[in-house]
């Protein structure tokens, strides 16, 4: 029986996501109300039957460790299922993890002791659904030494941001550039290119050979070096190959019917939420009657560590439109529109929350107005205050503003009227 060991890179600093990453690792940033970004990769693993997982952590990882330990105890290691957090232990010198390849290299001893045939390497901070078993089947059919998952993106979205692949006949990798200024486009789609998703499936022995050469990052150093050798490296076209059989519940009168969706509409959805604007856009993609990324499928559940909170309440004429509201929220006469409310949020009488993401335990006091904002946990918008209307005032209060105009309130900030 062939075994797969999954290693998730979850040590990123996330500089472009500040202040959301001021006190937490990028993979620990909340998403979709009650989840954290790491939950998406972990859920994809469990749903795909990949239940031997090492999470490589580093930067401000305290809350990430607690989240995984308290919410992701999937089974007993003696049965072969486990999720372990692996911080840097300076096994090869005095350095912490210096990059993705260096993080794996420093833990090659763990790969050896677990006797895995193949190693699946993932990022812990991307938004997508993926059945890794299908990628594994693709890898076996082509007798590949390495398979790299790729997604089709617009040329301008890949420029200076993503690694770009060139695919030949049968899916063989012919070229690779890390964050090029002028990405090579696809012949059939001149405005699009194939971008690396940061998902690598290695044969175990080939991974050890690849990491014998110098280089701290897979995209910058290891993959370009492998292309100069005789190799069997293939590209897994995520949009063409990925399929997730999912279910939805349809209600007709009093009858509930479970309907198979042959392929979920978001099976080709992938977002790198490396900036405030991309994070905000991916969050807004969860909303609406037909969301671009759907959390409500009956077969592809996302799991997390949940707080024991009571159901939410909408009182005293409170209004909630086109929004997601988690447990423990009180809409006490306020108006919430096109927003995501995390657990424990209070929106009081006469308050307006519009196009916003509110993290855990945020309070919006009577008469306050917020629009186009991300408010980190335990912050308070005081009575009569307006947020997202006056950029200069928001900055004076200690908030930041993204290139796309999204206001970000740091954790624990009290926003007053002036």
Yes or no: say if 176 and 168 are a contact pair by the CB < 8 Å rule.
no
Cα 301 from Cα 338, distance rounded (Å): 23
Is residue 111 very low, low, confident or very high in pLDDT (cuts 50, 70, 90)? confident
Is residue 61 very low, low, confident or very high in pLDDT (cuts 50, 70, 90)? confident
User: What is the reported pLDDT for 19?
Assistant: 94
- Range ranked top by mean pLDDT from 136-145, 210-219, 261-270: 136-145
Q: What is the pLDDT of residues 152-194, one digit of tens each?
A: 889 888 888 888 998 888 889 988 888 888 888 887 788 888 9
Average pLDDT over residues 232-242: 87
Three-state secondary-structure class, residue 48: coil
In the block, tokens 């859920």 appear at 43
Rg of the chain taking only CA atoms, in angstroms: 22
Distance of CA 391 to the CA centre of its chain: 29
User: What is the reported pLDDT for 92?
Assistant: 62
Residues 6+ positions from 58 with CB-CB distance below 8 Å: 11, 25, 87, 88, 96, 97, 103
Query: Please, what is the average pLDDT of the chain?
Result: 88
Please give the domain boundaries of the chain with CATH numbers for all domains: 4-241 (3.90.550.10), 313-415 (2.160.10.10)
Q: What is the pLDDT of residues 407-416, one digit of tens each?
A: 999 999 999 8
Q: Taken in order 264, 269, 270, 276, is the CA torsion positive or negative?
A: negative
For 29-180, strand residue ranges (E) read 30-31, 35-36, 52-57, 82-86, 118-123, 126-128, 146-154, 163-167, 173-178
Question: Is the predicted pLDDT of residue 74 greater than 70, yes or no?
Answer: no
| Percentage of the chain exceeding pLDDT 70 | 91
Beta-sheet pairing, 335-337 with 352-354: parallel
Higher-confidence residue: 256 or 415?
415
Beta-sheet pairing, 330-332 with 346-347: parallel
Instruction: Please choose, from the candidates 177, 298, 174, the residue with its C-alpha nearest in 3D space to the C-alpha of residue 233.
Output: 174
Cα 36 from Cα 328, distance rounded (Å): 18
Is residue 394 very low, low, confident or very high in pLDDT (cuts 50, 70, 90)? very high
Q: What is the pLDDT of residues 309-355, one digit of tens each?
A: 999 999 988 999 999 999 999 999 999 999 999 999 999 999 999 99
Is residue 253 very low, low, confident or very high in pLDDT (cuts 50, 70, 90)? low
Ordered DSSP codes for 106-128: TTHHHHHHTT-SEEEEEESSEEE
User: What is the reported pLDDT for 262?
Assistant: 43
Three-state secondary-structure class, residue 24: coil
**CB hemisphere CA count around 84 (13 angstroms):** 16
Q: Which residues pair with 119 in a beta bridge?
A: 5, 202
Tell me, what DSSP letter sits at residue 341? E
Three-state secondary-structure class, residue 46: helix
User: What is the reported pLDDT for 342?
Assistant: 97
Cα 158 from Cα 282, distance rounded (Å): 16
Helix (H) or strand (E) holding 358: strand 357-358
Average pLDDT over residues 110-132: 90
User: What is the reported pLDDT for 331?
Assistant: 96
Average pLDDT over residues 239-267: 58
Question: Is the predicted pLDDT of residue 261 greater than 70, yes or no?
Answer: no
User: What is the reported pLDDT for 163?
Assistant: 87
Question: Is the predicted pLDDT of residue 405 greater than 50, yes or no?
Answer: yes
User: What is the reported pLDDT for 410?
Assistant: 96
Query: What's the pTM?
Result: 0.89
Q: What is the pLDDT of residues 262-300, one digit of tens each?
A: 445 567 899 999 899 999 999 999 998 889 998 887 778
Q: What is the chain's length?
A: 418
Question: Is the predicted pLDDT of residue 220 greater than 90, yes or no?
Answer: no
- Range ranked top by mean pLDDT from 49-63, 119-133, 218-232: 119-133
User: What is the reported pLDDT for 132?
Assistant: 94
Contacts 24+ apart (CB under 8 A), 386-393: 386/417, 387/415, 388/356, 393/418
User: What is the reported pLDDT for 256?
Assistant: 56
Tokens representing residue 77 in the block: 């290691």
């Amino acid at each position: 029986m062939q075994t797969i060991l999954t290693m998730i890179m979850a040590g990123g600093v996330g500089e472009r996501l500040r202040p959301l990453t001021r006190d937490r690792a990028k993979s620990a940033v909340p998403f979709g109300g009650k989840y954290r970004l790491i939950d998406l990769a972990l859920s994809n693993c469990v749903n795909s039957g990949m239940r031997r997982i090492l999470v490589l952590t580093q930067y401000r990882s305290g809350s990430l460790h607690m989240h995984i330990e308290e919410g992701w105890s999937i089974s007993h290691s003696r049965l072969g299922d486990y999720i372990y957090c692996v911080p840097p232990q300076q096994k090869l010198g005095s350095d912490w993890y210096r990059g993705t390849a260096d993080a794996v290299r420093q833990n090659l001893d763990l790969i050896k002791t677990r006797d895995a045939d193949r190693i699946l390497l993932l990022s812990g901070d991307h938004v997508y659904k993926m059945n890794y078993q299908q990628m594994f089947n693709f890898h076996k059919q082509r007798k590949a030494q390495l398979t790299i998952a790729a997604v089709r993106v617009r040329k301008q979205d890949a420029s200076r941001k993503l690694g770009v692949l060139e695919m030949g006949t049968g899916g063989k990798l012919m070229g690779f550039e890390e964050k090029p200024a002028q990405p090579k486009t696809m012949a059939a789609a001149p405005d699009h290119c194939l971008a690396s998703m940061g998902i690598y499936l290695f044969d175990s022995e080939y991974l050890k050979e690849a990491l014998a050469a110098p280089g701290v990052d897979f995209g910058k150093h290891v993959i370009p070096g492998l292309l100069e050798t005789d190799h069997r490296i293939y590209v897994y076209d995520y949009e063409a190959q990925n399929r997730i059989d999912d279910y939805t519940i349809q209600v007709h009168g009093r009858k509930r019917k479970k309907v198979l969706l042959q392929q979920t509409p978001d099976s080709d959805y992938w977002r790198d939420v490396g900036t405030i604007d991309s994070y905000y856009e991916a969050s807004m993609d969860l909303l609406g009657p037909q969301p671009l990324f759907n959390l409500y499928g009956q077969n592809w559940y996302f799991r997390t560590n949940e707080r024991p909170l009571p159901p939410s309440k909408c009182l005293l004429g409170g209004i909630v439109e086109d929004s997601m509201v988690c447990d423990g929220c009180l809409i006490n006469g306020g108006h919430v529109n096109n927003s995501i409310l995390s657990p424990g949020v209070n929106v009081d009488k006469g308050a307006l929350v519009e196009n916003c993401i509110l993290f855990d335990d945020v309070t919006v006091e009577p008469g306050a107005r917020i629009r186009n904002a991300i408010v980190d946990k335990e912050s308070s918008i005081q009575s009569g205050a307006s947020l997202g209307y006056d950029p200069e005032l928001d900055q004076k209060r200690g908030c930041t503003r993204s290139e796309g105009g999204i206001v970000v309130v740091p954790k624990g900030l009290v926003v007053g009227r002036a």
